[in-house]
Structure 1
Amino acid sequence: MEVVGSFFKPKSKCASCQKSFGFHRRRKCETCKKLYCKNCSVKIKRQNSRFRKNRYCNTCYEETSSIKSSIQSFNSKETFISRDLFESEKLKLKINECNPEEVYKIGSKIGEGGSAIVYHAKHIESGEEYAIKRVMIQNLAQREQIINEMAISEMSLHKNVIKIQEAFEYNFSLWIVSELMVCSLNDLIIDMGSQIDEDVIAYILHEVCSGLLILHTNQRIHRDIKSDNILISEDGSIKIADFGCAAQLFEEESQRKTIIGTPVWMAPELALGETYDMKVDIWGLGILALLLADGELPYAHESPMKILMLIKDNPSPIPRFPSKWSESFLDFISSCLQKNPQDRPDAHQVGFHQFIHDLPKRNKIKFYALLDSWRNDTENS
């Protein structure tokens, strides 16, 4: 009836392009329930129906398709690639052997860590803005590790994974150009504390899980899932970043044993030096959920060695104020933080958990509203 009624409202406009409908056809999106013109929407034939069709705006359709594509990929037969194939893919990486300052205007420093410094950069010809990370190469082993990081990121293209634009090798350094992000999830949590709405938390975890799903589908472990490595772009996209600890599993090596990552975020099997697989990232997702609920990490004030002992000896952490949260959210945290990895769900199962699966549009709207409010407050303070 809303579609029909809009014909009698001369000022009716497409919710996306804002063009007046006039007497042209319009469609109501099945997900966000708004009206769109033909150019800003799609019509998809329903399964098991010869005539009826679903209608979506382009944005909702792309989001739904992306998630379904990841899930279908995960549901297909899981196969490990060989080390030789991975090495051949690495050789396809294009690394420019020229001065990046001939292509980009390098601006102010926006971050640093270890032997890397991240700068704001602007492409000289297009004017587009990026982040460029300069890593001083100290030895061949370190260079190989950075190439691995780039390869895993490049081979994991997804809307919830940070995208590398290009790379340069110049003046004993690797320069990696990537999407420019405006903040990390940690920045938001520091300011908001435990005041983030549960609908917003569900949306954030949904997006992170979507990124993890594409990694795990291809047998890749991030090994350092934490709020510092979840970045937010100018348009509000949530992306997994920093693949410095990431590993590709192979036919010859389907598990790892290296102790790597950030202690307070480590899964018990990783902290104990036992063999582990992709499920260590699910534990990290559970700790992220706990941080979003409480505004602080468990064992945050302990030394790294004490943290590893507490992870080993203590029961899984729970929110400080359980009565504040829904049973669905508490179950999500509990599922991700199962100490025995055999009892912990994989990314596909987590993606279907009722807390984050098939979220209503309001969750995303609330996140964008919170982000806008927080950024305005930050700019005015």
Structure 2
Amino acid sequence: DFFFGNVLGQGSYAKVFHAQMKKNHMDFAVKVMDQSFIRKENKTAFVLTERKVMSRLSHPNIVKFYCSFRDHHSLYLVMELCRGGDLFGNQQEQGVSDAACSFELTQFYMAELVNALEYMHSQHVIHRDIKPDNLLLSEDGHLKVTDFGTAKVRRPIHSDACQFCGTASYVSPEVLHDKPASRGADLWAMGCLIFQMFTGRAPFVGENDYLTFQVIINHSSEEFDFPSSVPEAAQDLIRKLLVQDPEERIGAQQNEEGYAELKNHPFFEGVEWDDIGDQTPP
């Protein structure tokens, strides 16, 4: 049913291809996963989770899921094609000096991420692996969250999202302490992203994953050092997101007031939240 073209990305058990449907020549991104490897490495739950979560989410800032199918060798997830690459690639093009991305660019994409997270969390979905590689850009430059393989559908009353997952530099301290991941885990990762977009580097980096985890666990937001190029409003927001207690992070309150407080932070001053999808990215 598809012509397969270039490889867009590759993970431990999957490749994502630019594919075109034969009958109508429409373009898609198709994630191809090796069934034998999935069974051998006990990745079945991740595959089922990704399909389940993506099929229930519908938002302009989340990659659209169309369908899935399989053959004797592989599983296929058919998704929206994002021609703009990923946010990390975009950041690299901006340079990796102390001003890796402009304030306008960072504010715009973090506002779109806030809209995506607010929607996800309202659907009781915790992404748990927010990082530049999982933030894609559409052809017209708008942000799209992808890769829901480690996501968790959290029942409103229960705290059952305890399994460790994520990427070292963006993992929240409560996850490292084997505590349940909540919406606060995604907000912590957003704080890391804001820092990285302004500075060109992640805020928590060690010589290996273990040492990175130690830096995260021992981090105090009050003692955070920022390059002079990071605006005061951004510094304040980062400090309020990179708080050890997940319930104290701005936006983490389990009601509408949480995201209202986040959206009203001075860093987002001037953002037209309801119309941001119609705006031209900086």
**TM-score, with length taken from structure 1:** 0.65
Tell me the SS of whatever aligns to 1:355.
helix
In structure 1, the partner of 2:80 is: 179
CA distance in 1, matches of 2:270, 2:121: 20
The higher radius of gyration belongs to 1
Q: Is the 8 A contact 2:126 2:151 kept in 1?
A: yes
1:263 partnered with 2:164: no
Give how far 1:339 is off: 1.3
Give how far 1:190 is off: 1.9
- Stretch deviating more after TM superposition (217-226 or 193-202): 193-202
Q: Cα–Cα, structure 1 residues 357 and 263, in superposed 2: closer, same or farther, change >3 Å?
A: same
Superposed counterparts of 1:38-57, under 5 Å: none
In structure 1, the partner of 2:47 is: 146
Instruction: For residues 27-62 of structure 1, give each alpha carbon's deviation from its aligned partner in whole angstroms, at most 9, with x where no partner exists.
Output: xxxxxxxxxxxxxxxxxxxxxxxxxxxxxxxxxxxx
Superposed counterparts of 1:79-94, under 5 Å: none
Match of 2:281 among 354, 368, 377: 368
Match of 1:191 among 79, 93, 114: 93
Q: Is the 8 A contact 1:199 1:366 kept in 2?
A: no
In structure 2, the partner of 1:37 is: none
Match of 1:238 among 130, 143, 148: 143
Tell me the SS of whatever aligns to 1:342.
helix
Instruction: For residues 61-88 of structure 1, give each alpha carbon's deviation from its aligned partner in whole angstroms, at most 9, with x where no partner exists.
Output: xxxxxxxxxxxxxxxxxxxxxxxxxxxx
Q: Is the 8 A contact 1:257 1:273 kept in 2?
A: yes
Q: Cα–Cα, structure 1 residues 275 and 147, in superposed 2: closer, same or farther, change >3 Å?
A: closer
CA distance in 2, matches of 1:341, 1:367: 33
Match of 1:352 among 255, 264, 269: 264
CA distance in 1, matches of 2:16, 2:148: 15
1:128 partnered with 2:19: no
Tell me the SS of whatever aligns to 1:276.
coil
Instruction: For residues 100-134 of structure 1, give each alpha carbon's deviation from its aligned partner in whole angstroms, at most 9, with x where no partner exists.
Output: xxx21111222211110111101112211111110
Q: Is the 8 A contact 2:49 2:150 kept in 1?
A: no
Q: Is the 8 A contact 1:265 1:284 kept in 2?
A: yes
CA distance in 1, matches of 2:157, 2:272: 42
CA distance in 1, matches of 2:278, 2:234: 19
CA distance in 1, matches of 2:144, 2:6: 23
AA aligned to 1:240 is V
Tell me the SS of whatever aligns to 1:114.
coil
Tell me the SS of whatever aligns to 2:70.
strand
In structure 2, the partner of 1:105 is: 3
CA distance in 2, matches of 1:142, 1:246: 13
Q: Is the 8 A contact 1:290 1:319 kept in 2?
A: no
Tell me the SS of whatever aligns to 1:245.
coil
Q: Percent identity?
A: 24
Q: Is the 8 A contact 2:164 2:176 kept in 1?
A: yes
Q: Cα–Cα, structure 1 residues 357 and 161, in superposed 2: closer, same or farther, change >3 Å?
A: farther
Q: Cα–Cα, structure 1 residues 209 and 267, in superposed 2: closer, same or farther, change >3 Å?
A: same
Q: Is the 8 A contact 2:206 2:215 kept in 1?
A: no
Task: Give ranges in structure 1 of 5+ residues lacking alignment.
Answer: 1-102, 370-381
1:159 partnered with 2:60: yes
CA distance in 1, matches of 2:199, 2:277: 21
CA distance in 1, matches of 2:31, 2:3: 13
Tell me the SS of whatever aligns to 2:267.
coil
AA aligned to 1:111 is G
Task: Give ranges in structure 2 of 5+ residues lacking alignment.
Answer: 253-257
Give how far 1:153 is off: 1.3
Instruction: For residues 295-346 of structure 1, give each alpha carbon's deviation from its aligned partner in whole angstroms, at most 9, with x where no partner exists.
Output: 111243520000111111132374631x333332221111111111121122
Give how far 1:365 is off: 10
1:222 partnered with 2:134: no
CA distance in 2, matches of 1:276, 1:189: 28
CA distance in 1, matches of 2:164, 2:217: 14
In structure 1, the partner of 2:255 is: none
Q: Is the 8 A contact 1:293 1:319 kept in 2?
A: no
Q: Cα–Cα, structure 1 residues 271 and 264, in superposed 2: closer, same or farther, change >3 Å?
A: same
AA aligned to 1:179 is E
Q: Is the 8 A contact 2:86 2:134 kept in 1?
A: yes
AA aligned to 1:368 is P
- Stretch deviating more after TM superposition (349-358 or 256-265): 349-358
In structure 2, the partner of 1:60 is: none
AA aligned to 1:211 is A
Superposed counterparts of 1:4-23, under 5 Å: none
- Structure 1 moving runs of 4+ over 4 Å: 363-367
